[in-house]
Amino acid sequence: ERRSAEPFKIKTVEALAMLSRQEREEALKKAGYNTFLIDSSDVYIDLLTDSGTSAMSDRQWGALMMGDEAYAGSKSWKRLEKAVRDVYGYKHVLPTHQGRGAENILSQLKIKHGDYVPGNMYFTTTRAHQELNGASFVDIIIDEAHDPTLEHPFKGNIDLKKLENLIYEVGAEKIPYICVAVTVNMAGGQPVSMKNLREVYHFCKSLGIDVMFDATRCVENAYFIKEREKGYENKSVSNILKEMFSYSDGCTMSGKKDCLVNIGGFLAMNDDELYARSRELVVVYEGMPSYGGMAGRDMEAMAQGIYESVDDHYIAHRIGQVRYLGQQLIDQGVPIVRPIGGHAVYLDAKEFLPHLQLEEFPAQALAAALYLDSGVRAMERGIVSAGRDQKTGQHNKPKLELVRLTIPRRVYTNNHMDVAADSVLSLFQKRHAINGLKMVYEPPALRFFNARFSPV
Ligand X SMILES: CC1=C(O)/C(=C\N=C(/Cc2ccc(O)c(F)c2)C(=O)O)C(COP(=O)(O)O)=CN1
Site residues for ligand X, 208-227, by CB under 6 A, read 214, 216
Question: Considering beta carbons, is residue 66 or 411 the nearer one to ligand X?
Answer: 411
8 is catalytic: no
Query: Which of 34, 49, 196, 309 is the binder for ligand X (CB under 6 A)?
Result: 49
Interface region with ligand X, contact rule CB under 6 A, candidates 57-65, 123-131, 172-180, 319-327: 123-131
Q: Which one of the listed residues 210, 214, 258, 348 is annotated catalytic?
A: 214
Query: Which of 108, 125, 270, 426 is the binder for ligand X (CB under 6 A)?
Result: 125
Question: Considering beta carbons, is residue 142 or 181 the nearer one to ligand X?
Answer: 181
**Total of chain residues touching ligand X, rule CB under 6 A:** 16
Q: Which one of the listed residues 346, 428, 448, 453 is annotated catalytic?
A: 448
Interface region with ligand X, contact rule CB under 6 A, candidates 26-34, 121-129, 149-157, 361-369: 121-129
Question: Applying CB under 6 A, does 270 fall inside the site for ligand X?
Answer: no
Q: Which one of the listed residues 29, 30, 39, 71 is annotated catalytic?
A: 71
Question: Applying CB under 6 A, does 159 fall inside the site for ligand X?
Answer: no
214 is catalytic: yes
Question: Considering beta carbons, is residue 167 or 186 the nearer one to ligand X?
Answer: 186
Interface region with ligand X, contact rule CB under 6 A, candidates 7-15, 92-100, 285-293, 351-359: 92-100
Q: Which one of the listed residues 24, 127, 257, 410 is annotated catalytic?
A: 257
Angle, in degrees to the nearest 10, between helices 99-110 and 124-132: 30
Question: Applying CB under 6 A, does 185 fall inside the site for ligand X?
Answer: yes
Q: How far is the CB of 124 from ligand X (least distance, A)?
A: 4
Question: Applying CB under 6 A, does 99 fall inside the site for ligand X?
Answer: yes
Q: Would you name the residues annotated as active-site residues? A: 71, 123-124, 214, 257, 381, 448
